[in-house]
Structures are given as structure tokens and as C-alpha cells.
């Protein structure tokens, strides 16, 4: 180990101190306990803008803006009570005053020493203007950034709200469109139905014209020949013959009226003009009266037997529909049965349904024709020589369906047929 000379060490330390003191960028200030400046290095003069030696003897408070002076004196006295190395102005910004009264931010660290038996305070001062500026610039850009971020956020929120509104509007529009489409589709279906009805009605009319020209010819020529014969039979002795022809005319006119009535009801049913208006009435009374009317059309020695299973059976039905159904079915039974045959009519209840059977022992229906029986204008092969339009059963089916019932039949060619009508009725 090299021996170190104490004297040379002390000289070295003085030299090192002098270099630090004179070249340091920090301002170094020595102040007595009253705040009087005892010593200031070159940097101090540059920092505070004073010329050589001017600082010596000045109060340190002269280097501080007036507003902080009082506080500084308090702090300085405090430090004198408890001197130890520390940073000055912890937690607050320190501001210094130049000779030209301009202010600048500083950072100060304090130290204490003793000189000639008196306490002195040594302050190291750094101008932190640049740092503060950078900090402030940073703060400003940070604030700007924050502001930008919050603007961005509120713009995003606005945009999201607009989008949500747009989506909601689109959804509304969509459901409106769906609604419109539904309405249009419904209207289209209605229009198609109406068109279909119109087409069917036109077809019906044209078929009626061709049917009428065929079916009307025979009764009309009968009427014509009977009428001309009546004109000839003007003698008293020919009274019987005249009356016979009058009866024939009446029956032919009746037939024609029947065809026209059938056609008119079919037209009304097609147009949906006929409704279901049920009323309460006694079924047996109604059927007995109706069958009495129909009996006038019976062939010689034909008879009708009505067998009601229930007495005083009150039903709730549309009389007009029921009359049309029974009249058509019984007229067929009469028409397609030979003379002397008996037609049986039964009525009974099956749960909440009323069943009416019309049974004949007539010519029956060929098996191949049976599937088409309820079609408009359809007539079986075995009835070519019997008058008819083929409208009756079609009408019956429509009436039955209008009152929520159904119709079925069983038949064997040459043996007879039974038509069975099932109608929902509420009995009391």
C-alpha cells in the first residue's frame, strides 16, 4: 500500500473543490442563518443574471418572487432549527427570480456547514426550465391525447347510436315490408280466388247455355204441341183431352222452373251469397210437411215412408239449406226408381249429429260412375233416357258443406241407393 501524504491530500481536495465550484453547471450558493448570501459561484451569476460580486451580501429572498418570500423565510428558519442535507421544496414547484424580474423553475438541494463558528447553508441550484417545458409539452400532448381519445370515444358512441338507430329503422322497415308483402300476398290470393270463381262462373254459364238448349227443347216442344192441341180441342167432348194437355204444360213448365231455380241457387252459392242462418224447429213436423209437397211428384203407386227415430226432435238448422238437400235427394229417389217402389226416409241422432237417410230400390249407380257423382253436370251412364241436368247433387253437397255437414252414399246398379246426410245439430 502506498503511503499518502496528509498535506498533499488536503491541497488536492481544495483543488478539486475549486474545479467543482468554478465549473459546475449547478449554481452553488452559501447563505448565513439570516439569509445573507456569503458566496455564489459563476453559474449562480449566469442563472440569476447578476454581474460579478453583485450577489454577495444580498438576501437570498431577493432571488425569489415576492409571492413566495414569506414562506421562504419560514422555511429557511425551519431549516436552521434542523439542518440536514435534503431537497428543498418537496412536493411543490420552486420558482426563482432573475435580476430582470423574469421567473424560472429551479430545483434546490440543501446542505449545511460551519464556518468560523457560524452555521451556513449551502444550496445547489439547477435551472429546470427545459425539463419543465418538456414536462409541460408532454402533459399538453398527453392532455391532447386524452381529449382526442375522449372525442374519439364520444364519436364512437355517437356512431354506435346512429348505427343502432339505423338498424332499428331497418328492422322497422323490414317488418313493414314483410307486412306489406303479406298484405299483397293475401290480396293476390284473394284476386286469384276471385278470378277462379269468375272463371268457374263463366264456365257454368256457358255449360248452362248448352245444357239448357238441350234440356229445354223437349219440354218446350211438348208445351208447344200441347198448346196447339188445346187450340184444336174446342169442343165440349174434348174437355178431358184439353185438361190433360193443360196438366202436361203445367208439369213441363214446372220442370223448366226447377232447372232455372237450380241454376240460380248454384250461381248464388258460387258467388258466396248464401249464408247459414240456423233456427230451432221440430224436425219431424218440418220433414212431414216437406215430404207432403214432394209427394205430388211421385210416380203412380210409388210411396214415401218417413220413419223418425226420435219424437219431438228439436234441431238448430238452416231451413232453406235443409229443404234444398231433402228435396233434391228425394226427387232423385223418385226419378231413378220404377213405379210401385217405396222410398224410405229415416232420421236419427248419432252423438251430436243428425243423420237423415234416403233409401230407394231404384236403378242404382254404376260403380265406375260413383266417384264423379257430386261433380257439376255429371250424369251416370244408366240415366241417359231420364231427364236431368246433373246439377242436383252438386247443389246438395254445397248446401251440406255450408252447414258443416257431410254426405255419403251406397249404391248397387239395379238394386238401389241410399244417400246419407250427416248434419251437426244442437238438440235441446
Ligand X SMILES: Nc1ncnc2c1ncn2[C@@H]1O[C@H](COP(=O)(O)OP(=O)(O)OP(=O)(O)O)[C@@H](O)[C@H]1O
Binding site for ligand X (CB under 6 A): 262, 328, 332-333, 336, 360, 362-365, 373, 378-380, 383, 388-394, 417
Nearer to ligand X, 27 or 364 (CB): 364
Nearer to ligand X, 123 or 330 (CB): 330
Q: Is 303 left (phi over 0), alpha (psi -120 to 50) or beta?
A: beta
Residues 253-312 that bind Mg ion (CB under 5 A): none
Q: In whole angstroms, how close is the CB of 264 to ligand X at the nearest point? A: 13
DSSP string, 398-414: HHHHHTT-EEEEEEETT
Q: Secondary structure of the chain in the HEC alphabet?
A: CCCCCHHHHHHHHHHHHHHHHHHCCCEEEEEECCCEEEEECHHHHHHHCCCCCCCCCCEHHHHCCHHHHHHHHHHHHHHHHCCCCEECCCCCCEEEECCCCCEEEEEEEEEEEEECCEEEEEEEEEECHHHHHHHHHHHHHHHHHHHHHHHHHHHHHHHHHHHHHHHHHHHHHHHHHHHHHHHHHHHHHHHHHHHHHHHHHHHHHHHHHHHHHHHCHHHHHHHHHHHHHHHHCCCHHHHHHHHHHHHHHHHHHHHHHHHHHHHHHHHHHHCCCCCCCCEEEEHHHHHHHHHHHHHHHCCCCCEEEEEECCCCCEEEECHHHHHHHHHHHHHHHHHCCCCCCEEEEEEEEECCEEEEEEEECCCCCCCCCHHHCCCCCCCCHHHCCCCCCCCHHHHHHHHHHHCCCEEEEEEECCCEEEEEEEEECCCC
Q: Name the residue whose CB lies closest to Mg ion.
A: 392
Q: In whole angstroms, how close is the CB of 306 to Mg ion at the nearest point? A: 20
Residue 37 interaction partner, one of Mg ion, ligand X, none, beta carbon < 5-8 Å per kind = none
Residue 360 interaction partner, one of Mg ion, ligand X, none, beta carbon < 5-8 Å per kind = ligand X
Nearer to ligand X, 328 or 347 (CB): 328
Nearer to ligand X, 286 or 378 (CB): 378
Q: Secondary structure of 165-213 in the HEC alphabet?
A: HHHHHHHHHHHHHHHHHHHHHHHHHHHHHHHHHHHHHHHHHHHHHHHHH
Q: Which of 27, 219, 362, 392 binds Mg ion (CB under 5 A)?
A: 392
Residue 364 interaction partner, one of Mg ion, ligand X, none, beta carbon < 5-8 Å per kind = ligand X
Q: In whole angstroms, how close is the CB of 329 to ligand X at the nearest point? A: 7
Nearer to Mg ion, 26 or 262 (CB): 262
Nearer to ligand X, 10 or 406 (CB): 406
Q: In whole angstroms, how close is the CB of 388 to ligand X at the nearest point? A: 3
Residue 417 interaction partner, one of Mg ion, ligand X, none, beta carbon < 5-8 Å per kind = ligand X
Nearer to ligand X, 380 or 425 (CB): 380
Nearer to Mg ion, 63 or 393 (CB): 393
Q: In whole angstroms, how close is the CB of 285 to ligand X at the nearest point? A: 25
Q: In whole angstroms, how close is the CB of 210 to Mg ion at the nearest point? A: 18
Residue 28 interaction partner, one of ligand X, Mg ion, none, beta carbon < 5-8 Å per kind = none
Residue 333 interaction partner, one of ligand X, Mg ion, none, beta carbon < 5-8 Å per kind = ligand X
User: What does the per-residue mask of binding to Mg ion show for 324-363, with x meaning CB under 5 A?
Assistant: --------x-------------------------------
Q: In whole angstroms, how close is the CB of 191 to ligand X at the nearest point? A: 31
Nearer to Mg ion, 332 or 337 (CB): 332
Residue 219 interaction partner, one of Mg ion, ligand X, none, beta carbon < 5-8 Å per kind = none
Residue 88 interaction partner, one of ligand X, Mg ion, none, beta carbon < 5-8 Å per kind = none
Q: In whole angstroms, how close is the CB of 176 to ligand X at the nearest point? A: 50
Q: In whole angstroms, how close is the CB of 401 to Mg ion at the nearest point? A: 18
Q: In whole angstroms, how close is the CB of 294 to ligand X at the nearest point? A: 13
Residue 298 neighbours by CB under 8 Å, 6+ apart: 304, 334
Residue 317 interaction partner, one of Mg ion, ligand X, none, beta carbon < 5-8 Å per kind = none
Residue 383 interaction partner, one of ligand X, Mg ion, none, beta carbon < 5-8 Å per kind = ligand X
**Which of these, 372, 350, 281, lies nearest to 318 by C-alpha position?**
281
Grid look-up 240415366 returns 383
Nearer to ligand X, 171 or 200 (CB): 200
Burial of 331 (0-12, 13-18, 19+ CB in 10 A): middle
The binding site for Mg ion (CB under 5 A) comprises 332, 392
Amino acid at each position: 500500500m502506498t503511503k499518502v501524504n496528509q498535506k498533499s491530500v488536503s491541497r488536492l481536495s481544495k483543488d478539486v473543490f475549486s474545479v467543482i465550484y468554478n465549473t459546475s453547471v449547478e449554481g452553488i450558493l452559501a447563505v448565513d442563518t439570516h439569509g445573507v448570501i456569503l458566496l455564489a459561484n459563476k453559474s449562480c451569476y449566469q442563472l440569476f443574471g447578476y454581474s460579478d460580486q453583485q450577489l454577495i451580501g444580498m438576501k437570498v429572498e431577493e432571488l425569489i418572487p415576492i409571492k413566495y418570500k414569506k414562506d421562504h423565510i419560514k422555511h429557511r428558519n425551519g431549516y436552521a432549527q434542523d439542518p440536514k442535507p435534503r431537497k428543498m421544496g418537496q412536493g411543490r414547484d420552486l420558482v426563482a427570480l432573475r435580476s430582470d424580474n423574469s421567473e424560472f423553475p429551479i430545483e434546490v438541494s440543501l446542505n449545511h456547514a460551519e464556518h468560523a463558528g457560524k452555521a451556513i447553508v449551502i444550496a445547489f441550484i439547477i435551472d429546470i426550465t427545459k425539463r419543465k417545458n418538456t414536462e409541460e409539452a408532454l402533459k399538453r400532448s398527453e392532455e391532447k391525447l386524452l381529449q382526442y381519445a375522449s372525442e374519439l370515444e364520444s364519436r364512437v358512441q355517437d356512431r354506435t347510436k346512429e348505427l343502432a338507430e339505423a338498424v332499428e329503422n331497418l328492422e322497422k322497415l323490414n317488418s313493414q315490408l314483410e307486412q306489406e308483402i303479406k298484405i299483397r300476398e293475401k290480396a293476390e290470393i284473394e284476386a286469384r280466388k276471385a278470378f277462379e270463381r269468375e272463371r268457374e262462373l263463366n264456365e257454368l254459364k256457358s255449360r248452362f247455355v248448352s245444357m239448357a238448349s238441350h234440356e229445354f227443347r223437349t219440354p218446350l216442344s211438348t208445351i208447344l204441341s200441347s198448346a196447339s192441341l188445346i187450340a184444336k180441342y174446342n169442343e165440349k167432348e174434348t174437355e178431358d183431352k184439353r185438361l190433360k194437355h193443360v196438366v202436361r204444360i203445367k208439369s213441363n213448365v214446372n220442370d223448366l222452373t226447377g232447372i232455372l231455380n237450380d241454376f240460380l241457387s248454384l250461381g248464388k252459392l258460387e258467388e258466396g251469397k248464401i249464408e247459414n242462418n240456423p233456427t230451432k224447429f221440430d224436425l219431424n213436423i218440418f220433414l212431414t210437411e216437406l215430404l207432403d209437397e214432394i209427394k205430388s211428384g211421385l210416380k203412380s203407386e210409388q210411396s214415401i215412408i218417413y220413419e223418425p227415430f226420435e219424437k219431438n226432435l228439436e234441431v238448430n238448422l238452416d231451413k232453406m239449406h235443409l229443404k234444398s238437400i231433402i228435396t233434391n235427394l228425394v226427387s232423385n229417389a223418385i226419378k231413378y226408381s220404377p213405379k210401385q217402389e217405396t222410398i224410405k226416409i229415416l232420421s236419427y241422432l248419432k252423438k251430436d249429429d243428425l243423420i237423415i237417410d234416403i233409401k230407394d230400390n231404384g236403378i242404382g249407380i254404376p260403380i265406375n260412375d260413383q266417384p264423379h257423382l257430386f261433380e257439376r253436370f255429371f250424369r251416370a251412364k244408366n240415366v241417359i233416357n231420364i231427364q236431368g241436368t246433373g246439377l242436383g247433387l252438386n247443389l246438395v253437397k254445397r248446401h251440406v258443406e255450408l252447414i258443416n255437414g257431410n254426405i255419403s252414399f251406397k249404391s248397387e246398379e239395379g238394386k238401389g241407393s241410399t244417400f246419407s246426410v250427416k248434419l251437426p245439430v244442437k238438440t235441446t
